[in-house]
Amino acid sequence: ETGVTQSPTHLIKTRGQQVTLRCSSQSGHNTVSWYQQALGQGPQFIFQYYREEENGRGNFPPRFSGLQFPNYSSELNVNALELDDSALYLCASSLAKTSNYGYTFGSGTRLTVV
């Protein structure tokens, strides 16, 4: 059973740039969620994708967008990067779009915006 893999592990970008983060979900999982974890904080829900469609969104601006592909892998795109976007971005996959199952998390992508 493969876990959730994220790439890259670390990334440094300049304010105003765009970034794409990638996630391969655990085998058999059809739902992917993205979270932002700022230093010293708990993860904050960005959005969830279920069968290639956005299934829910947290309190993040439209410059945060995503995709899910037929193989259930996913991308998180952030446009017009701001310094406050510096955080650990976590991808989590699950078997269902509802809350019945716990997530399987990846190790995250550490994004630094300078």
- Kindly list the residues in this chain that would bind other proteins in the complex (CB under 8 A): 4, 31, 33, 35, 40-45, 48, 50, 55-56, 58, 90, 92, 94, 96-108
CB nearer other proteins, residue 15 or residue 54: 54
Shortest Å, Cβ 16 to other proteins: 28
Shortest Å, Cβ 111 to other proteins: 14
CB nearer other proteins, residue 80 or residue 96: 96
| Residue count (the chain) | 114
Beta strands in 10-108 (DSSP E): 10-13, 19-24, 31-37, 44-50, 53-57, 64-68, 74-78, 87-94, 104-105
Q: Are 80 and 62 in contact (CB under 8 A)?
A: no
Secondary structure class of 83 (helix, strand, coil): helix
CB nearer other proteins, residue 14 or residue 39: 39
